[in-house]
Amino acid sequence: MSDIMADQISLFRAQITNRKFDDETLRILDSVLVAKDLRSLLEVQLQLKEFLRCESLRIIREIIEKAVDQKLLIIDFLVRAFALSGDVESCLALRYEALVMREMKSSSNPWLHVSYGEWFTFAEHCLDNRFYTIAIKASEKALSCIQMETVIQPLTNDHIEVEQFIKKIKRLNNVAVTSAASQSVQAQAAAYLKKKTLGLKRNTSPIIKEKALSASTLFRCGIRKRNKRKLQAHCSLLKSPALNVEVYSTLVHSFVL
């Protein structure tokens, strides 16, 4: 990592630490992510993702008491920062939180109303990135919004267009439901295969261990018997006056394991 890049990262961290949620901070982040090679880019992205995730949790806790419009501005900044850093999961999670917040506050603040088009676009992005469960929720929100809007304001000449959009939302919902079910089946299959593999290892390992221990034991017993015979043969040499105690001791230590 170059010194210039390290300085830019330090500057971006300082901006976030000082709670500078503006375009200048995002421009610094963008400049940091202009790496000369893929390896450097991935390294920097990982470093910034971890930093942003930790800081975003602190920031969310800090803004609890702020007004809704201030909260939304800060969340929007974090969404853009996560998008630049390549953290799609965090980006979509915060977008969902912002949409839910707007929906909850829209009864007293009509300008916060979330349209069915916004929910549908968000559902598409979730589906494209394989967040199927959230895509299902978002598409259901889109259907609920469009049905509520048609109750409040009956369909006019553009009713055909609205009906087509409803079909489009339902198709997306069906794809998300099917994909989520498929993902669940794949996860269950993977878990089953892993469990089966571990079971086979547990069943076979005792046999292998027993065989290894048996072979080792037999080998060592064979050596002991052989050395015992040699020791007995040498002990007979004690009858010879030429053999002293020191030689005998040496023989014992040579053959006994």
> pLDDT at position 148, please?
84
Q: Are 48 and 32 in contact (CB under 8 A)?
A: yes
Give pTM, 2 decimals.
Answer: 0.69
Given a cut of 90, whether residue 196 has pLDDT beyond it is: no
* Nearest of 236, 115, 136 to residue 179 by alpha carbon: 136
Span 62-100, pLDDT tens digits: 999 999 999 999 999 999 999 999 999 999 999 999 999
More confident residue, 230 or 69: 69
Span 16-56, pLDDT tens digits: 999 999 999 999 999 988 766 777 788 888 999 999 999 99
CB atoms within 10 A of CB 129: 14
> pLDDT at position 204, please?
56
> pLDDT at position 187, please?
74
Q: How confident is the model at residue 152 (pLDDT cuts 50, 70, 90)?
A: low
Q: How confident is the model at residue 140 (pLDDT cuts 50, 70, 90)?
A: very high
Whole-number Å distance between alpha carbons of 129 and 125: 6
Distances (CA, A) of 251 to 122, 166, 181, 223, 231: 86, 97, 75, 15, 7
Q: How confident is the model at residue 192 (pLDDT cuts 50, 70, 90)?
A: confident
Residue by residue, DSSP assigns the chain as --HHHHHHHHHHHHHHHTT--SHHHHHHHHHHT--SSHHHHHHHHHHHHHHHHHHHHHHHHHTTTS-HHHHHHHHHHHHHHHHHHT-HHHHHHHHHHHHHHHHHHTTT-GGGPPPHHHHHHHHHHHHHTT-HHHHHHHHHHHHHHHHHHHHHS---TTHHHHHHHHHHHHHHHHHHHHHHHHHHHHHHHHHHHHHHHHHHHHHHHHHHHHHHHHHHHHHHHHHHHHHHHHHHHHHGGGGSTT--HHHHHHHHHHH--
